[in-house]
Amino acid sequence: MKAVIAVPPIRDFYFTPHRASALGARVLARELVESGWDASLLNLPLAGKPRNIPLQAELGYLERFLIPLETGPLSWFTSYRRFGPEYSESADTIAAVHPDMVFISCFAWAYAEEARELALAAARRMPDVPIVIGGHGPTSLPGYFLKSPHPVFPDMPLFSLVVSGEIEGHGRLLTESMNRTGSTDRYLDLRGMTSRTELRPVAGESIRRADRRSISIIFTRGCPRGCRFCSNHICHGRKFRSSASDLWEEEVIRAAGDTGKLNLNIEDDNILFLKKNLFELIESLGKQFPDITFSAENGLDYMLLETEDIKRLKESGFTNLNLSLGVLSGEQRARENRDGDPEKLAGLIRYASEIGLPVTTHFISGLTGDRVEDILGTLSFLDHLPTRIGISNFYPVPGLPGFENPEQFLKCSPRLALGSSAYPWTGSLTTTQMMTAFRLARWSNFRKEQESGRTGTPSEEDLYDTVLQAAERHSAELHTIIREGRIRKVIPLPNLDSNMIEGFFSCRS
Ligand code: SF4
């Protein structure tokens, strides 16, 4: 039996290489092969060149924040983009394999519409071929997929099977469900089911980044902590589980092949629960791949880090440290059920800076109960420290506390649940305030880069100076750079919250 596993093309403002690692789809491919299938993976967001597309109607409220001519280090996104071919073309690619079954991997609820559109195109092209869907999206809201009708046979469902939870260790159950002839039960719920097989690490595609190939990998699943904003448990549960650490290195070596210079991006949220194993791995890999570098772009839990760990991470090949702050103030932490110690974080950031390890500290804006003062307080705290600021807008996933009602998600576009959509889900901050916070974070990063050593050409440096001086003169306005033909110039940023900007600069003075 031949199976194609397709990761749908997506529409978004951006797509980072580690989001393209398709780890869930790879786990499925492994399961199917081990259950006797001939399975191939089509990672469609990586096929062809990304291209600009018109902003979709439901995102029209973002139009006034887009500056298409914007360029340089202060930029937000300048256009909306498509990553991967048209759905009909994607369906042709799938059909060319002559599959007996198509599996669609929907790795986030926000891309549910893309997954459904790909399924519709595949069903039109191959009406008799069953389509199965799984991943974080269907796990969060299976009803959206279960209700979709087939485009050629309107009395039939689009999806022959909708799967929730982890497929790992359950390939056999999947096959059995598909073989139940005449069954009307089209929902396979694997959440909380114990697998009889051992968990294994899984590495993604090797993607070129600067002078090296980057591979994302995950060793563990699940998290026992209960941060209110986090959706990890919806698919992976609250029990922390790890693959056997003696399999870790083997998987890296398998995935690395002969890639040349390698960066290993460790995707696990909680890899520091296994700090000893982590160090054993990276130190051993350092002996085998002398110029290997490491990253953990999802962010490391700073509460589990000590200064000696930071030194060791740097010596082992970490070239940038991503730290997860989440939220800063005690009140926010209590609300979000999140552990934290700002003083400890500040000490670790200063230490990393002293030993020459750049830090990016990530926080979330727009959570329930967030006030403008909370966001300004966090921005100001990080602005005064030697760290880049990574800011993410809160977005809900069906099933998170306060977002349990599926109807709320069925009556609006799933793509409003993208961080890049800056949609005011909780009502605590407006889109304008979230955009302003983002711009302030960019400005802070830009200022620090400028102060740490100039890297631009002389004409760029003049523009950069103008941006910084403009901020001094107009403390309620931020500026950016645009390119008109061969001319670049500094313009004020429109449509931001001037009170917030003023508040930020008054904290700085
Ligand atoms: S944010 Fe991190 S620590 Fe908190 S529940 Fe999610 S995975 Fe666990």
**pLDDT string in tens for the chain (509-residue length):** 999 999 999 999 998 877 788 999 999 999 999 999 999 999 999 999 999 999 999 999 999 999 999 998 899 999 999 999 999 999 999 999 999 999 999 999 999 999 999 999 999 999 999 999 999 999 999 999 999 999 999 999 999 999 999 999 988 888 888 776 556 689 999 998 877 678 999 999 778 777 888 999 999 999 999 999 999 999 999 999 999 999 999 999 999 887 779 999 999 989 999 999 999 999 999 999 999 999 999 999 999 999 999 999 999 999 999 999 999 999 999 999 999 999 999 999 999 999 999 999 999 999 999 999 999 999 999 999 999 999 999 999 999 999 999 999 999 999 999 999 999 999 999 999 999 999 999 999 999 998 887 667 777 888 888 888 888 787 889 999 999 998 999 999 999 999 999 999 988 77
CA-229 nearest atom, ligand 1:
1
CA-231 nearest atom, ligand 1:
6
In this chain, the answer to whether the domains covering 2-48+84-189 and 202-384+396-401 adopt an identical fold is: no
Q: How far is the CA of 272 from the centre of ligand 1 (A)?
A: 12
Q: Does residue 24 sit in helix, strand or coil? A: helix
Q: How far is the CA of 223 from the centre of ligand 1 (A)?
A: 6
CA-269 nearest atom, ligand 1:
7
Ligand 1 neighbours (beta carbon < 6 A): 223, 225, 227, 230, 232, 269
Hey, where are the domains in the chain? 2-48+84-189, 202-384+396-401
- pLDDT for 249 equals 96
| CATH code given to domain 202-384+396-401 | 3.20.20.70
What top-level class would CATH report for the domain 2-48+84-189?
alpha beta
- pLDDT for 454 equals 64
Q: How far is the CA of 295 from the centre of ligand 1 (A)?
A: 18
CB atoms within 10 A of CB 504: 25
Q: How far is the CA of 225 from the centre of ligand 1 (A)?
A: 6
- pLDDT for 211 equals 80
Minimal-distance CA residue to ligand 1 atom 3: 225
Q: How far is the CA of 427 from the centre of ligand 1 (A)?
A: 23
Q: How far is the CA of 230 from the centre of ligand 1 (A)?
A: 6
- pLDDT for 195 equals 74
Q: How far is the CA of 224 from the centre of ligand 1 (A)?
A: 8
Q: What is the DSSP letter of 194?
A: P
Pocket-testing residue among 220, 223, 327, 364, ligand 1, by greatest number of atoms within 8 A of Cβ: 223
CA atoms of 308 and 438, how far apart (whole Å):
32
CA-226 nearest atom, ligand 1:
5
Upper half-sphere CA count for residue 184 (Cβ side, 13 Å): 1
Angle subtended by helix axes 23-34 and 171-179, to nearest 10: 70
Pocket-testing residue among 219, 231, 232, ligand 1, by greatest number of atoms within 8 A of Cβ: 232
Q: How far is the CA of 404 from the centre of ligand 1 (A)?
A: 19
Pocket-testing residue among 136, 218, 220, 227, ligand 1, by greatest number of atoms within 8 A of Cβ: 227
CA atoms of 133 and 162, how far apart (whole Å):
5
Q: Which of 363, 421, 370 is nearest to 108 (CA)?
A: 421
CA atoms of 99 and 5, how far apart (whole Å):
10
Q: How far is the CA of 269 from the centre of ligand 1 (A)?
A: 7
Upper half-sphere CA count for residue 53 (Cβ side, 13 Å): 17
462 φ/ψ sector (left φ>0, alpha ψ -120 to 50, else beta): alpha
Minimal-distance CA residue to ligand 1 atom 6: 230
| 488, containing H or E segment | strand 487-492
CA-326 nearest atom, ligand 1:
1
Minimal-distance CA residue to ligand 1 atom 4: 227
Minimal-distance CA residue to ligand 1 atom 2: 269
Give first-to-last CA distance, the chain, whole Å.
68
Residue found under tokens 């529409």: 11
- pLDDT for 453 equals 77
Q: How far is the CA of 243 from the centre of ligand 1 (A)?
A: 19
Pocket-testing residue among 136, 219, 225, 367, ligand 1, by greatest number of atoms within 8 A of Cβ: 225
CA-230 nearest atom, ligand 1:
6
Q: How far is the CA of 189 from the centre of ligand 1 (A)?
A: 23
Residue found under tokens 């440096």: 461
Q: How far is the CA of 385 from the centre of ligand 1 (A)?
A: 24
Dihedral sign, Cα of residue 398, residue 404, residue 407, residue 413: negative
